[in-house]
């Protein structure tokens, strides 16, 4: 195992982790506001096709990313209308959003199969990303750096700003937040829209960066991993970053186990690749168990998560 191997492994891991990091970060804010949106997979697909379509028409992937964020936010607002204004069941509506997003993206995508799009330019001058160490730091797609900046921003927003405090209050105790005059529904709409926009950008990472093409269901279940990731991170942005890359390592291990590339680990050939594929979910269950054991001291899940807001009239 030489340094070139490790560096290209890290580059692969960063690449496969970025969409779940983006979508997970959006969902984290949504859940912090007390809303459970299981439609991440659907919003990612809507973002993937919308961003691809916009890029095809404008020829500019940056405009495509904005289109993806807008489409993700719009589909999330549709979800918001049902669960926030009409108080429908969040779990059922979220699942419906996934089914809707899958179908809608396939429908829109019919005329985009086989099309090709222009690529992002690099953020840093190309000369910086020639040698392996340079590639490790300066060779990624702009969306990768955007995701890292967003981790810092979201962590700072939730921890250190007044708006972040209000958002958390709405998620922890909606009735109290309401009684001191904050608009619970308004805050939740904003959070849901943000979550949709982030899922949309996570989705467009598939159709513009990983494989610049449109293929139906191309996110292939990563929205569900993003949902697991939020729980795994126990609703904290810095842990979400660590968790996303950790899940990325597990996905990388799965692929290498299949390809016989883990010979540097003694005994690795005895572990079937399916074990690594199941690990993200297994680890999430373990974290859930740890959280509930610790809950006697203080809960980490937002107290109002998934509950409709029904103020006494």
Partner 1 sequence: MANFNRRSFIATAGAAAAALPLVGGKAFAQEKIKVGFAFLGPIGDYGWTWAHNKGREAVNAAFGDKVETVYVENVPEDASAIPVLRDLAQQGCKLIFGTTYGYMDQMVQVAAEFPDVKFEHCTGFKRADNLATYNSKFHEGRAVLGTIAGKMSKSGVMGYLGSYKVPEVVLGVNSFMLAAQKQNPDAKLKLVFIDSWFDPPKEAAATETLLNLGCDLVTTHTDSPAALQILEQKGLFGFGQGADMSSFAPNAHLTAIEDIWGPYYVERVQAIIDGTWASTDTWDGFKEGTVVISPYNKAIPADVVALADGVQAGYKDGTYDIFTGPIYDQDGNLKVKEGEVIGLGDLAVMDWFVKGVESAS
Binding site for partner 1 (CB under 8 A): 5, 8-9, 12, 15-16, 19, 99, 103, 106, 109-110, 113-114, 116, 206, 210-220, 222, 251-252, 255-261, 269, 272-274, 277
CB 171 → partner 1: shortest distance, Å? 31
Question: Tokens in use for 274?
Answer: 């399916």
Task: Please report how close the Cβ of residue 232 comes to partner 1 at its closest, in angstroms.
Answer: 19
15/308 with CB nearer partner 1: 15
Give the shortest CB-192-to-partner 1 separation in angstroms. 25
What CA–CA distance (Å, rounded) separates 42 from 38? 9
> Please, what is the end-to-end C-alpha distance for the chain in angstroms?
67
Buried b (16+ CB within 10 A) or exposed e, 151-189: beebbebbeeeeebebbbbbbbbbeebbeeebebbebbb
Q: How far is the CB of 16 from partner 1 (least distance, A)?
A: 5
Give whichever of 121 and 238 is closer to partner 1, judged by the CB atom: 121
Q: How far is the CB of 82 from partner 1 (least distance, A)?
A: 19
Least distance in Å: CB of 185 to partner 1?
Answer: 31
| Residue nearer to partner 1 on the CB measure, 214 or 232 | 214
Residue 143 CB, shortest distance to partner 1, in Å, is 14
Comparison of 159 and 217: residue with beta carbon closer to partner 1: 217
Rounded Cα distance between 303 and 172, Å, is: 5
Separation of alpha carbons 273 and 257, rounded Å: 5
Comparison of 120 and 157: residue with beta carbon closer to partner 1: 120
Q: Which is nearer to partner 1, 103 or 238 (CB)?
A: 103
Query: With b meaning 16 or more CB within 10 Å and e meaning fewer, what string describes 131-145?
Result: eeeebbebbbbbbbe
Question: How far is it, in rounded angstroms, from Cα 150 to Cα 122?
Answer: 19
For partner 1, which is the closer residue by CB, 131 or 295?
A: 131
CA distance 179 to 120: 48
Taking the complex as a whole, the smallest distance from the CB of residue 202 to partner 1 amounts, in Å, to 11
The closest of 232, 305, 244, 242 to 30, measured between CA atoms, is: 305
Residues 6+ apart with CB under 8 A from 19: 44, 202, 203, 205, 206, 210, 219, 222, 226
Number of Cβ atoms within 10 Å of the Cβ of 282: 12
CB of 180 or CB of 259, closer to partner 1: 259
């Amino acid at each position: 195992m030489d340094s070139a191997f490790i560096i290209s492994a890290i580059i692969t891991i960063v690449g496969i982790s970025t969409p779940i990091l983006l979508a997970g970060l959006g969902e984290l804010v949504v859940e912090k506001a007390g809303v459970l949106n299981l439609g991440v997979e659907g919003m990612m697909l809507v973002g993937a096709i919308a961003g691809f379509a916009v890029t095809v028409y404008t020829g500019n992937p940056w405009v495509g990313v904005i289109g993806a964020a807008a489409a993700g936010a719009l589909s999330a607002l549709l979800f918001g209308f049902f669960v926030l204004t009409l108080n429908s069941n969040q779990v059922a509506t979220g699942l419906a959003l996934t089914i809707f997003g899958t179908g809608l993206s396939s429908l829109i995508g019919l005329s985009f199969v086989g099309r090709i799009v222009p690529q992002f330019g690099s953020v840093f001058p190309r000369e910086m990303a020639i040698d392996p160490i340079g590639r490790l730091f300066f060779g990624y797609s702009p969306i990768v750096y955007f995701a890292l900046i967003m981790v810092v921003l979201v962590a700072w927003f939730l921890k250190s700003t007044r708006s972040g405090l209000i958002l958390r209050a709405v998620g922890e105790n909606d009735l109290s937040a309401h009684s001191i005059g904050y608009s619970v529904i308004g805050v939740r709409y904003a959070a849901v829209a943000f979550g949709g926009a982030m899922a949309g950008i996570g989705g467009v990472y598939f159709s513009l960066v990983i494989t610049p093409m449109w293929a139906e269901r191309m996110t292939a279940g990563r929205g569900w991993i993003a949902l697991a990731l939020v729980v795994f991170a126990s609703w904290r942005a810095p842990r979400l970053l660590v968790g996303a890359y950790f899940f990325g390592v597990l996905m990388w291990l799965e692929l290498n186990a299949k390809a016989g590339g883990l010979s540097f680990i003694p005994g690795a050939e005895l572990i079937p690749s399916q074990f690594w594929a199941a690990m993200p979910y297994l680890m999430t269950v373990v974290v859930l168990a740890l959280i509930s054991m610790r809950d006697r001291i203080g809960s980490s899940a937002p107290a109002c998560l998934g509950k409709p807001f029904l103020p006494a009239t």
